[in-house]
Structure 1
Amino acid sequence: MQDLSASLLKQVVLKLLDCYTPSHKEENAKETVEGIAKALGLKLTQTSSHSYYFGEPSSDIAFVSHIDTVEGFIPVTEERGWIYGRGAVDAKGPLTSMLVAASILSKEGIPVCVFALSCEEEDSEGAQELLQSLKLKYAIVGEPTGVDRVVIEYRGSAKIVLTLKGKKEHAASASENLLLNAAQGILNLPPSSYELSLTPVSLECETAWNVTPSEIKIRIGARFSKNYTGDFVKQVLDAFNAPEKRVTVLEKTQPVFVEPTSIVPRTLVRVIQQLGKKPAFAKKHGTSDMNLLAPICTSIAAYGPGDPRLAHTDEERVSVEELLFATKVYAAFAKSLVKPL
C-alpha cells in the first residue's frame, strides 16, 4: 500500500503523544497538528471548539476521532514494538491510523476527512459543534475496539448530582450522621449490570472535626443500555435515607445501536476478514461521540486499534502492528465505498 510504513505511523503517533492535550487544552496541539497535516499532505481546518479537520469536511467518508485525552501525562516511551503514552489507546492511536490512511487515500484520489474532535472525554464540545454544521454519510468513529472488533452499540450516560441535607450536630453526641447515611446509601445502590450501572465518583461535605455534616453532594455516573426501561433517578433516591434529598441530572446522552447490516459495520467486517482476521460485532459499556453523531450519519460504527481495557489507565499502550493493521482497514474501507476522483 502506497506510503504505508511502520516508520511513518511511529512518527505521527509519537508526535501526538508528546503533545499533552487533556480536555479543554486541545489548543496545545495546534503546532503539532499543523506539522502533521503538512507532512501528510492534508488540508487542515481548526474550528472554534479547537477541533481539527484534516481534508474536506464535505467528503462522503468521515473518520471521526478525538484529540483530547483524560488527565494525567504518561511519559512517551517505545519498547519492543509497543508505544506507551497518554492517549496511545484513547484515542491518539486510532487517530494516527486514520490520518495516515487519509494521506494514502488522498494521493490515490479518494477524498476523506479526518475529524479530530475536542472534549470527547468531557462535554463533547467538538461533536456538538459538528452536529450544528454538517451531515455525514459514512462515518467510522476512531475508538479503541481491538483490530478484530466492530462496535455497533454504546450505552447511554447521565451525570447525576445527589444532594442530601440533614441536621448539623456536635460530633460527640450526634443522634444522626448524614455521612453514615450517605455511605449506607452508596452500598444500597443496585448492583451494576450492562442494563444499568450507577457509579459513585465523588462525595463532598463539610470538613470540621467536631460537627457532623448538614449537606452532602454525591456525584454518580449512570450508564444504561438501549433496553433499560426503568427510572434511574428514582433508583438513586430510593437508595438513600435523608431528611431531604434531591437529584439533579446535569447531562444525559441516549444509547446508540446500529444494525449489523448497515453499510459501515457490514463493510468493516468484510474488510477485516479480507485482511486475514476473524471479525466480530461488539458493544461497549461506555459512551462515545458515536452516540451523538449517529443521527446525522447515513451509517456509522466504531473501530480502532488498541485494547479498550487500557483506556484511561496509566498503562495505555498500542503496538505498531495494530496501527498498521487498522490503517489498512480504514484505507480498504474507503476504497470499497468511494470511487477515485
Structure 2
Amino acid sequence: MRPDPELARHAARELVAGAVAIPSVSGEEGAAAAFLTGWMAGHGFAAHIDQAGNAVGERGSGPLTVVLLGHIDTVPGDIPVRVEDGVLHGRGSVDAKGSFCAFVAAVAALPPAALAGARFVCVGATEEEAPSSRGARHAARAYQPDFVLIGEPSGWEGLTLGYKGRLVARVRVQKDNFHTAGDGTSAADDLAEGWWRVREWAARTSGDGVFDAVQATLGGLASHNDGLTQVAEGTFSLRLPPRLSPRAAEDALLAALEGLPAHVTFSGHESAVRHPRDNALTRALRVAIRAQGGTPVFKVKTGTSDMNVVAELWPVPTLAYGPGDSALDHTPQERLDLGEYDRAVAVLQAALTRLAAGTARAGEASPATS
C-alpha cells in the first residue's frame, strides 16, 4: 500500500523542524546526528553514525549507488526556532539542514521499484562550515558513487553545477620599532602595501563575469607594538575561478609580496569545480522540476561547498540541490519556506525514482555538453 502523501509531508516537516531545533555548530554535531539517525532508522533506513560523526542512512539494494551528501553543522548564531505562516526560522534551516532533510525525506518515500534499482546513501556531514570538511573527506574515501547530490540551497528550481575555489593566506609582518618621525615604513604600512599589490593582481587576473574572476577579500586585521617590535597581521581570502589552481594562486601571491618583510602561511586549498549540465542526473532533476510546474535554472556559485572536496575522488555526474535562498546563509534572517521544502522533496523523490528506473540514463554514453 502506498504511504499517505499528507502523512509523509507532515513527517518530512517534522524532520526538518526537529533537526533545526538542535544546535550543531561545527564540531558539536553529535546531538543532531543522533536525532537524524534515529529518524532514519524509524523510516526504513539502515542508519549509523560513522567515524567522522556523520549521520548516515542507506536504503535500497540496486546496482547503482547514489550518494546524497549534505551537511548538518552550522555557523554560530542563535536564531529562535519557530514556524510562522508556513516559514521555518532558525540557524541551519537554509544552510543546510533543509537540504539534507529534503534528501532524507525523499529517499524515505521512494517506491520499492526505485529501491530495487539503486542504493541510496544519505550522508549528513560534519564540519562543512570549518576548514577541515571532516565529514565530506571521510565520505569521499568510504563510497564510490555513480551519481552525487550535494545538499546546498539552490532554490527548488535551481541546479548548481559548480563552485569557485578558495585559498586563504595569513600574512604577518614583523619589524623593529622606530620613531614615526624618522624615515621608513611601519609593519602596518608594509601589510597594507602587500594587500594593495594582491588586489591589483586579482584585478589583472580576472576574466568575464564574477565566476571567472579572482575575488580578494581582506579580513582579520590586527597589529601590536611592545615598544621594541611592531607586528601587523592580516588574512587575505581569495575566491578562485576554475582556470586558476590554489597552487598557482599561491605562487602569484608570493610574487606580489616579493620585497616585503612578510611571512605567509596558506590554508583552504580548494580547487574550483564545474560539472557538465547534460547527464542522467541533471535530466532527471529537470524533468522532475517541470513536473512540479517549475522552470529549471542552472547556477554556479562564488562560494565553496563539499562539492569542491569530493570532486577529485568522485568524477561522476554531480550537482548541488536544495530548497531555500542562499542569500540568507549565515544571516540573522535565516529561514525556510516550508512550501518550497515540500516541492523540493517531491522533485527529489521523482528524480531519484527516474534515475533508479534507468529511464533518465538513455543516451548517457553520448558526450555530455557543458
TM-score by length of 2: 0.82
Q: 2:73 aligns with which of 49, 68, 88?
A: 68
1:206 CA drift (Å): 2.3
One-letter code aligned to 2:46: K
CA–CA distance in structure 2, aligned partners of residues 327 and 60 of structure 1: 19
Letter in 2 for 1:254: S
Alignment match of 1:233 (pick from 236, 243, 250) = 250
Q: Summarize deviations over 1:209-256 as a string: whole Å, max 9, x none.
A: xx4862222222211111337943355446658741132222311111
What residue identity is the alignment partner of 1:222? L
Structure 2 equivalent of residue 265 of structure 1:
282
**2:178 — aligned with what?**
169
User: Alignment partner of 2:51: what SS?
Assistant: coil
- Name the counterpart of 2:365: none
Q: Distance in 1 between matches of 2:169 and 2:238?
A: 7
Superposed displacement of residue 161, structure 1: 1.5
Does structure 1 conserve the Cα–Cα contact (< 8 Å) formed by 2:191 and 2:233?
Answer: no
**Alignment equivalent of 2:12, drawn from 9, 12, 17:** 9
Q: Find 1:105's aligned residue among 84, 88, 110.
A: 110
1:74-223 to 2 correspondence within 5 Å? 74-105=79-110, 110=115, 111-122=119-130, 123-169=132-178, 175-188=184-197, 189-190=199-200, 191=203, 193-194=210-211, 195-206=213-224, 211=227, 214-223=230-239
Find the counterpart in structure 2 of residue 52 from structure 1: 55
Alpha-carbon distance, 1:274 to partner: 2.2
Q: Label 1:324 to 1:180 Cα distance change in 2 as closer, same or farther (>3 A).
A: same
Which SS does the other structure have where 1:216 is aligned? strand
The SS at the match of 1:314 is coil
1:73-95 Cα shifts (integer Å, max 9, x gaps): 22112111111111111101111
SS at match of 1:202: strand
| Structure-2 residue corresponding to 1:292 | 309
Output the amino acid matched with 2:244. Answer: Y
CA distance in 2, matches of 1:324, 1:150: 17
1:199: how far off? 1.4
Q: Which amino acid aligns with 1:221?
A: S
Counterpart of 1:35 in structure 2 is: 38
1:276-315 map, 5 Å: 276-295=293-312, 296-315=314-333
Going from structure 1 to structure 2, the CA distance change for 1:39 and 1:3 (only over 3 Å counts) comes to farther
Contact kept in structure 2, 1:45 and 1:54, CA below 8 Å: yes
Gap change, CA 1:243 and 1:339, over 3 Å in 2: closer
Identity of matched residues, %: 25
Secondary structure, aligned partner of 1:215: strand
How far residue 281 of structure 1 moved from its aligned partner, in angstroms, is 0.9
The residue matched to 2:176 in structure 1 has which SS? coil
Q: Give 5+ residue unaligned stretches, structure 1.
A: none
Task: Identify if the C-alpha distance between structure 1 residues 252 and 89 changes in structure 2 by more than 3 Å, giving closer, same or farther.
Answer: same
Partners of 1:181 and 1:241 within 8 A in 2: no
SS at match of 1:223: strand
What SS does structure 2 have at the residue aligned with 1:135? coil
1:275 CA drift (Å): 1.9
Structure 1's 76 and 224: CA in aligned 2 closer, same or farther, altered over 3 A?
A: same
Deviations 1:247-304 (A, max 9, x none): 2222311111111112212321222122211111110101111122233252111111
Instruction: Read off the aligned partner of 1:337 and give its amino acid letter.
Output: L
CA distance in 1, matches of 2:178, 2:4: 71
Contact map agreement 1:226 1:257 (CA 8 A) in 2: yes
For 1:40, give the aligned amino acid.
Answer: H
Tell me the amino acid that sits aligned with residue 310 of structure 2. L
Change in CA separation of 1:126 and 1:317 when aligned onto 2, cut-off 3 Å? same
Distance in 2, matches of 1:294 and 1:234, equals 23
- CA pair 171-11 structure 1, distance change in 2 beyond 3 A: farther
1:17-32 aligned within 5 A: 17-32=20-35
Is the Cα contact below 8 Å between 2:165 and 2:241 reproduced in 1? yes
Distance of 1:229 and 1:134 partners within structure 2:
26
Given that 1:9 and 1:320 are in contact with CA atoms closer than 8 Å, whether structure 2 keeps it comes out as: no
CA distance in 2, matches of 1:259, 1:81: 35
SS of 1:68 mapped into structure 2: coil
Q: What is the alpha-carbon root mean square deviation over aligned residues?
A: 2.7
